[in-house]
Amino acid sequence: MYSQDLLRYVDNLCTPPHVKLNNEINLEYIKWKRSDQLALSWILSTISESILTQIIFYDTAREVWVALANSHASHSNIHILQLKRDLQNAKKNDK
């Protein structure tokens, strides 16, 4: 994710632009959504089915990331950092 500049979608460094701008679809929103969905698909491809059922109703990479962090908050920070490192190292074709 790091090499594709997608970490910013989970770190909340890239907030979504408005869907519409001057009553027209905002092209920046479309670009943001496409990249966010790519980040989301990478996250979803790295987690088990049992965890997937907990996050299936979230729409953005950030929402899923926060839900995962909150549901695993009882685990140590080391585990959360490991998840983040795993995501950073994920490659497009990894499954």
- At residue 92, the pLDDT reads 47
Please write the tens of the pLDDT for every residue from 11-67: 888 889 999 989 999 999 999 999 999 999 999 998 888 888 889 899 999 999 999
Closest C-alpha among 90, 88, 92 to residue 8: 88
- At residue 50, the pLDDT reads 85
* Amino acid letter, residue 81: L
First to last CA, the chain: 14
Q: Write down the domain spans for the chain.
A: 7-89
Q: What is the DSSP letter of 25?
A: E
- At residue 31, the pLDDT reads 95
pTM, rounded to two decimals? 0.71
- At residue 13, the pLDDT reads 81
Most confident of 71-75, 80-84, 91-95: 80-84
Q: Which residues sit opposite 94 in a β-bridge? A: none
Residue 12 has a CB neighbour count (10 Å cut-off) of 11
Q: Which residues sit opposite 21 in a β-bridge? A: 24
Q: Work out the widest C-alpha separation in the chain, in whole angstroms.
A: 46
